[in-house]
Amino acid sequence: MAKSPELVIYDLDGVITDTAEFHYLAWKNLAEQLGILIDRNFNEQLKGISRMDSLDRILELGSSAKPFSYEEKVELATRKNSYYLELIEAITPDHILPGIKNLLQENREANIKIALGSASKNAPLILEKLGLSHYFDYVVDADKVKKGKPDPETFTAAADALGVSYSNCIGIEDAAAGVEAVNQANMFSVGVGDRAHLAHAHYLVNETSELDFQKITQQFQKWRQTY
């Protein structure tokens, strides 16, 4: 008999809600103060990456700038986060991406566990603002892991906490680093977005409105048979 998944782990930024734009605007504001210009193309490589790692990539881009001490970097990252918190103040359930509420509902009705696997320290706050916290059996945010994506820890931590084997898990991601993390965890990866960035996903859709719970489960079962 075909094996059903036991746990689906959702990324937050770019899968459940589009906070990527807010992260971009907040980083752009900080980078400009340091005389560093970033654009949306550069921002692609910041998706799924932790706050401090994102700062390092921006500082590397402006490599002519002076080196910063750890304390100075903490101040810069905190400043970026204060811009970000101002921007996300306005988030409401209207900011849930198309198809996601339905997907979570079908996921729950199928009695399959639900976890969040996010690199963001703001994840619990955002879930609260979206009115979605009650769907989640477990939340992994940046404070619960030592190594961020593309390391698999964000995903394996969710499976470990809920007592599920990795091969019975699905991870849904919009970032290249996230898909890599799911694959490294030996889980079934669902990518949302452009093939140019997400070619390694086991199953790929263009946008969240195309995420269909039945289809995802069928694709998981095909993959699981060859596992």
- For the chain, first and last CA: distance in Å? 14
13 near Mg ion (CB under 5 A): yes
- 13: annotated active-site residue: yes
CB contact at 8 A, 118 and 181: no
Residues 160-179 that bind Mg ion (CB under 5 A): 174-175
SS3 220: helix
Binding partner of 120, given ligand BG6, Mg ion, none, CB within 5-8 angstroms per partner class? ligand BG6
Q: Which stretch binds ligand BG6 (CB under 6 A): 40-48, 63-71, 150-158, 164-172?
A: 40-48
SS3 166: helix
Binding partner of 49, given Mg ion, ligand BG6, none, CB within 5-8 angstroms per partner class? ligand BG6
- The encoded tokens of residue 10 equal 């959702």
Q: Which one, 20 or 36, has the nearer CB to Mg ion?
A: 20
CB contact at 8 A, 38 and 188: no
Which of 81, 102, 167, 221 binds ligand BG6 (CB under 6 A)? It is 81
| Cα dist from 225 to 9, 98, 127, 188, 202, whole Å | 20, 31, 34, 12, 13
17 near ligand BG6 (CB under 6 A): no
Q: Round to whole Å and give the CA distance between 111 and 210.
A: 21
* Torsion region of 183: left, alpha or beta (phi above 0 gives left; psi -120 to 50 gives alpha): alpha
The distance of Cα 107 from the centroid of its chain, to the nearest Å, equals 18
129 near ligand BG6 (CB under 6 A): no
Q: Which one, 8 or 181, has the nearer CB to ligand BG6?
A: 181
Kindly write out the interface string for residues 31-70 of this chain, putting x where it contacts Mg ion by CB under 5 A and - elsewhere: -----------------x----------------------
122 near ligand BG6 (CB under 6 A): yes
177 near ligand BG6 (CB under 6 A): no
Taking the complex as a whole, the smallest distance from the CB of residue 25 to Mg ion amounts, in Å, to: 16
**Which amino acids are annotated catalytic?**
11, 13
Binding-site ranges for Mg ion (CB under 5 A):
11, 13-14, 48, 174-175
